[in-house]
């Protein structure tokens, strides 16, 4: 029982640094010949976080983007904590200026402190619905970030001072997840976009709240032709 409680505590620490940054697009302003999109973002999500990303627009009947991003929190040990996302985003429905999109990502994240090193694989999915004009847009988003499997590597200090018989290795089944929901708005000019998003985060069972249950992000997109 003590081992289980310890593991739950450590997993909760992992989610304290979990950014929910996604790559947002003004679909009404995106041209078919703009194949490459660079993303940068910063904001607050359980801490001050930076994110870099890239999207490639496929030749398809409706807008479809392959995407990759790298996120990390600010701090002295830059490579101790980070998150990598690979996946895609598609605008699947449009009626006049109202547009609907969905995204799906595979996630790898790493968290380390003096007690433990965690490596986690998971996924993230989201839906966005909004009103889009060539120069601006406003939309609502709903997403879910799931940690599927986590590897624990406890430090010698943990084994000596916290719990001697703690086990290293992979923890299954899934170790947790968060819903997030909020608003996003953007301004487009030339080949660029400024995007602001804010919202709330809730633990998947809705029985507990994160330590800081909100997020805030300011992002910039640069669209380039082929």
What distance in Å separates the CA atoms of residue 144 and residue 104, rounded to the nearest whole number? 10
Q: ∠60-61-67 over CA atoms, to 5°?
A: 40
Amino acid 165: pLDDT:
85
Residue 196 has a pLDDT of: 96
Please tell me the class of the 2-224 domain: mainly beta
- The residues of the chain scoring below 50 in pLDDT are 1-17, 19
Helix count and strand count (H, E) for the chain: 2, 11
Find the radius of gyration of the CA atoms of the chain: 19
Residues with Cβ within 8 Å of residue 77, at least 6 apart in sequence: 112
Supply the pLDDT for residue 6. 47
- CA-to-CA distance for 103 and 98, rounded, in angstroms? 17
Can you give 37-91 as a three-state secondary structure string?
EEEEEEEECCCEEEEEEEEEECCCCCCEEEEEEEEEECCCCCCCCEEEEEEEEEE
For the chain, the domains span 2-224
The predicted pLDDT at position 34 comes to 94
The pLDDT of residue 14: 45
pTM of the model: 0.84
pLDDT of residue 79: 56
| Cα–Cα separations (whole angstroms), residue 165 to 23, 115, 145, 158, 159 | 42, 14, 31, 10, 7
Contact 221, 25 (CB under 8 A): yes
C-alpha–C-alpha distance, residues 184 and 144, integer Å = 16
pLDDT at 37: 96
């Amino acid at each position: 029982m003590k081992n289980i409680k310890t593991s739950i505590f450590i997993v909760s620490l992992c989610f304290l640094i979990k950014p929910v940054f996604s790559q947002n697009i003004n679909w009404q302003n995106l041209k078919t010949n703009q194949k490459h999109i660079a993303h940068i973002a910063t904001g607050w999500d359980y801490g001050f976080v930076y994110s870099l990303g890239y999207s490639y627009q496929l030749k398809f009947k409706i807008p479809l983007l392959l995407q990759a991003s790298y996120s990390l929190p600010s701090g002295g040990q830059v490579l101790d904590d980070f998150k990598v996302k690979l996946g895609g985003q598609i605008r699947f429905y449009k009626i006049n200026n109202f547009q609907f999109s969905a995204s799906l990502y595979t996630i790898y994240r790493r968290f380390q402190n003096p007690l433990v090193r965690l490596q986690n694989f998971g996924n993230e999915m989201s839906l966005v619905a909004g009103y889009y004009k060539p120069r601006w847009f406003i939309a609502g988003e709903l997403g879910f970030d799931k940690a599927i499997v986590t590897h624990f590597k406890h430090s010698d200090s943990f084994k000596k001072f916290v719990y001697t018989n703690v086990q290293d290795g992979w923890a299954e089944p899934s170790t947790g997840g968060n819903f997030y929901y909020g608003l996003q708005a953007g301004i487009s000019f030339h080949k660029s976009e400024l995007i602001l998003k804010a919202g709330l985060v809730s633990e998947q069972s809705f029985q507990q709240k994160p330590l800081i249950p909100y997020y805030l992000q300011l992002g910039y997109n640069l669209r380039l032709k082929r």
